Structure 1
Amino acid sequence: MTTTTAMNAKPGSIYNVPNALTTVRFGLAIAVMALLPMGNMMAALVIFIIAVSTDWMDGYWARKYGQVTKLGRIFDPFVDKIIICGTFIALVEVVGSGVASWMATIIVARELLVTSLRAIIEGSGGDFSANQLGKWKMVLQCAAVIAILLSLINPDVQWIRIAGQGFLWSSIALTLYSGYVYVIAASKELSKS
């Protein structure tokens, strides 16, 4: 599909630029998870940055050109979860990353919980869109991954390692807190029905 065809795609068509970008991001996420255990930290870093950058682009494009689709509403957050959860899981086995298995478990558990709550609430006609706290959580998690990969590429630069661990612990704290906020919001929404 050419860019012109994608820009002129009918509203509601799944063949559009945002869904194409999400599909590419899915492939990039798999590449990051494959590269980390192989020790290709620089390639993993570059691909991770490209992948998370396309998340902003596909959302912007979908809103600007009216190409928001049901597939996109499901596929986009799914791929976000794959790249974040998968990268943290892959980092568990990388020596020197500082990512423990319980940290990856917290990240995965929070995503599964919020996704389940969203399905229940939106399935009954309610609105459970992502809030600002959830978006900042994603930003902090991405910053943690980038800083950790930089510290693995430059193991002798102490301040990068400290920054990586600071971002890591901050992202875990915000992951827990945002999960708590979503649970409270979900309980209020569910009590209305």
Structure 2
Amino acid sequence: MAATTTQVEHSDQSPASAAGDQIWNVPNALSMARLGLAFFVGILIEFQQFMPALFVFVVAASTDFVDGWWARKFNQVTKLGRVLDPFVDKIIITAALIALVGCAGSGIDAWMVTVIVGREFLVTSIRAMVEGKGGDFSARSLGKWKMLFQCAAVVSSLLLLDGVTDAVWLVWTTSVLIWLAVLMTVASGADYVIQAVRLARNAS
């Protein structure tokens, strides 16, 4: 009878709930690897190794798609992964941008990075509050566009600093991309605030 009860208890656990309780799997391992690469990018920029930093940054940023695809494809979406993945995304961008601020001619100003980092703190705090109450605060399209322009700005700035091509048009390209990144950062931050207010009103 005890064995039967144990079997029933185990059968009640769905694959999704079992996956959600896992800690180490391929997507989370990739996220941890990306975290290490993010710090490596910052170090390379500090030592003015711009082309190696560009290569490592592209690898780190591109694996974001891989771990997300793997988690959905093989049902390995976990509670840790839902927190770790966006956290690592923020570290990849902020580590590169903060390091680039200290490089003369990068085209990236300190106030721009302050806006970007401030938005990340705001959205992270709101997400923790909403999801802590059981709400859904998934990524939105503006946030994805924000990430795209931020990555493009980092790549353009690193190419500019490395001097591999004509700097005239690249200066303008970097300037346009970082301004678009800042504008999308502000817009996506406002979008998340509006979403949080709506969720709070619906919950009350």
| Aligned residue identity for 1:158 | V
> Which of the numbers 105, 108, 111 marks the counterpart of 1:102?
111
Divergent runs of 4+, >6 A = none
Structure 2 residue 196 is the aligned partner of structure 1 residue 177: no
Shift of 1:161: 1.9
C-alpha distance after superposition, 1:124-167 (max 9, x if no partner): 11111111111111011001101111111127431122111110
Structure 2 residue 25 is the aligned partner of structure 1 residue 25: no
In structure 1, distance between residues paired with 2:28 and 2:50:
28
The count of aligned residue pairs is 184
C-alpha distance after superposition, 1:77-126 (max 9, x if no partner): 11111111121111110110121111111000001101111111111111
In structure 2, distance between residues paired with 1:34 and 1:112:
23
**When the two structures are superposed, what TM-score results if normalisation uses the length of structure 1?**
0.92
> Which of the numbers 118, 121, 140 marks the counterpart of 1:112?
121
Q: How does 1:51-66 map to 2 (within 5 A)?
A: 51-66=60-75
Partner of 2:5: none
Partner of 2:19: 11
> Which of the numbers 29, 49, 55 marks the counterpart of 2:58?
49
> Which of the numbers 149, 155, 161 marks the counterpart of 2:171?
161
Q: How does 1:53-92 map to 2 (within 5 A)?
A: 53-92=62-101
Partner of 2:10: none
Structure 2 residue 49 is the aligned partner of structure 1 residue 40: yes
SS of the residue corresponding to residue 75 of structure 2 reads coil
CA RMSD in angstroms comes to 1.2
| Aligned residue identity for 1:160 | L
**When the two structures are superposed, what TM-score results if normalisation uses the length of structure 2?**
0.87
Shift of 1:191: 2.1
Structure 2 residue 188 is the aligned partner of structure 1 residue 186: no
Contact 2:107 2:171 in 1 (8 A): no
SS of the residue corresponding to residue 11 of structure 1 reads helix
Q: Which moved more, 1:133-142 or 1:183-192?
A: 183-192
Structure 1 unmatched runs, 5+:
1-9
In structure 1, distance between residues paired with 2:190 and 2:82:
23
Partner of 1:4: none
Shift of 1:11: 2.4
